[in-house]
Amino acid sequence: MNPTVIISYIATAVAFIVGFLLLLGYVGGTFEQNLRITLGVIFIGYSIYRFLYVQSKLRDAKRIEKQELMRIEKEKLFRKNEDAS
């Protein structure tokens, strides 16, 4: 797995954990309750967005890789047919 993907997953997990801890009140005890809850929801929302974004990029990379392999195989097939003619 690509190191940037691992870093993205770690950042996603950290954002989610911080958001969850903010919602529970374990972190940011000096903040007002409304601010703490708002920040917790924002962190959790950001972690969900980041997770979906990374998944989307991985799917796109796999699709592009498959397209490239298909293009190479198609070129091989055309060359083989030209040589047989």
Look up the domain containing 71 and give its range. Answer: 3-84
How many other CB atoms are found less than 10 A from the CB of residue 5?
14
Q: What tokens appear for 80 in the block? A: 């083989």
Task: Measure the CA–CA gap between 19 and 22, rounded to whole angstroms.
Answer: 5
Tens of pLDDT, residues 25-42:
998 878 899 999 999 999
pLDDT beneath 70, residues of the chain: 85
Instruction: Please give the tally of structural domains in the chain.
Output: 1
| Element at 68 (helix H, strand E) | helix 33-84
- Confidence (pTM): 0.77
State residue 46's pLDDT score. 97
